[in-house]
Chain A
Amino acid sequence: MAIELTKGMGLLFMKVGVHARENLEDIIKRKQQEYDKAGMIFWGYGGNTCHPSKHVQPFVREFKKQGKEVMLVMQEINSNHFAEPKAAEEYSEDGINWQVVPKGIEVLGSRYALVLDRLELEGFDIGLQDMSVAIGPSRGRIASDYIQGHVDKGCFEFDPGSPPLKQNDVKHISLYARLKEPYAVHLK
């Protein structure tokens, strides 16, 4: 596979919802068009477990400072996710200074977005027991214990070698991407 998972690297694990109207290939095609037009991709998301300035930005910066790579890895799930069709008009790196969303980028119904430079469609498995939370109040917790209930994403450090703790610990990744500065933004 094109992505090489190495011990100590950062992994931002997230689920990507697909449904009857748009499959993964269509999503990638649409998002890649964003890149062609704007030079970056905004990947919308919500929740507070990957807050742009509290979690994602310091997480990526710290890993990069240590010379470690950080990758977004996404597990494909079927979803009937209820997203409001309101498009974001402005984005901000710090929640203080706001700019108009670049022409060509469209994010609907999301408070935050990851900033990506390329999306790669590739399938491989990853074990939640091989990742631990890298930032925030649950720092150090094994992803296998962390990803449950309403917590479905997180910033992790990859540390392979442990056997799966639970039956459903192995997740199939369908999509990965490299993050681009400023890595994550607030939207409004």
Chain B
Amino acid sequence: MKDFDLRAAINAISDVTQNRPQPLREFDQIYMKVADMVLQADFIARRFDGLDVVFIGDGDSIALSAYHLKTSNVIDYGPNSILVLDFDERIVKSIIRFAEKYGFADKVSSQLYNVADPLPSDLMHTRDAFYTNPPWGASNDGESVIAFMERGIEAVKEKSIGMLVIADAPDIPWTQSVLLDSQRIANDHGFLVAEMLPEQHFYHLDDAPDLKSCSCLFRRITPKIWNTESRKLDQVRFENFYGNNNPLKVRYVREQLTLNYGRAEEHTYRLESWGGKNGD
């Protein structure tokens, strides 16, 4: 599968990871390990070649990774345009800053959005493909996965594809149950599983370091369900979003302004001079 310069690819992904904000564990921002990011970025660049793609959440920065591999001339394929929707303003702004810095802000953009809200009407059925690597739903029977998927489905055109990245471990029952439910939802909306790469990616996940995710590529055959209007997540799903009686409390993560983007925060260190006239 890999037919690119590995060093150039890893260095390009290094540009991206350097740009990411620190993950917030409470919102399941758990980052994919770098080697797997390289392979995943290449994979989606191939599958989304020439397409207009929407990412429903993207803490990993796979969107930037795929596009940056292309603009760094590591690969010669990739999406035509990318829109990343995320509820974390730190992620949104880091994507915008990166796209401006590397000169592709006309092709890669990002905006603040929480999946519990209706999808903005100007985004309904406008993209060729969606990608989501949502909270995996270990404690909520996949509720979070379904919510993210449904927003992706709302954002794509009739003839479209979508990629879902979620936990996949045959010996951990909840992962298989969530995977089954998500495929059922996709099928309800007229998608079939076009491709499935099982147990692909490792994460910086403290309590399950061996747990991997799969890439499941859906292709729509017929739009069995076609919403012309997006609705807010209903109250029951909202209340149980993070598990039984564990509701969504935070609408947005807001960025604190700093002059030190990508640099060490000043409150984490202090400088101590040599002191004395001769530095002794």
Residues of A whose CB lies within 8 Å of any CB of B are 47-49, 51, 53-55, 58, 61-62, 94-96, 133, 135-141, 146, 149-151, 154
Contacts and interface: CB of A to CB of B under 8 A. Distances in A.
A140 B245 contact: no
A95 B253 CA distance: 12
Given A51-B25, A58-B243, A96 B249 contact: yes
B206 A150 contact: yes
Contacts of A151: 206-207, 209
Contacts of A141: 172
B67 interface: no
B26 A53 contact: yes
A137 B211 contact: yes
Contacts of A53: 26
Given A62-B244, A96-B250, A151-B206, A138 B26 contact: no
Given A58-B139, A58-B246, A94-B249, A139 B25 contact: no
Nearest to A149: B209
Nearest to A51: B25
A10 to B, nearest CB: 15
Interface string B240-277: 00111110011000000000000000000000000000
Given A54-B26, A58-B243, A140-B172, 7 more contacts: A49-B206, A51-B25, A54-B242, A133-B207, A137-B138, A137-B205, A140-B174
Contacts of A47: 206
14 contacts: A49-B207, A55-B207, A58-B242, A95-B26, A135-B139, A136-B139, A137-B136, A137-B172, A138-B211, A139-B138, A139-B139, A146-B207, A149-B209, A150-B206
B208 interface: yes
B244 A138 contact: no
Given A96-B250, A137-B208, A139-B139, A48 B244 contact: no
Count chain A CB atoms within 10 A of each CB in B136, B167, B172, B211 and give the residue with the most. B172
B50 interface: no
A154 B206 CA distance: 11
Contacts of B249: 94, 96
A140 B209 CA distance: 15
Contacts of A138: 172, 207-208, 211
A137 B167 contact: yes
B103 interface: no
A89 to B, nearest CB: 13
A146 B207 CA distance: 8
A98 B192 CA distance: 47
B206 A139 contact: no
A45 to B, nearest CB: 13
A135 B243 CA distance: 10
A137 B244 CA distance: 15
A139 B245 contact: no
Contacts of B209: 149, 151
B170 interface: no
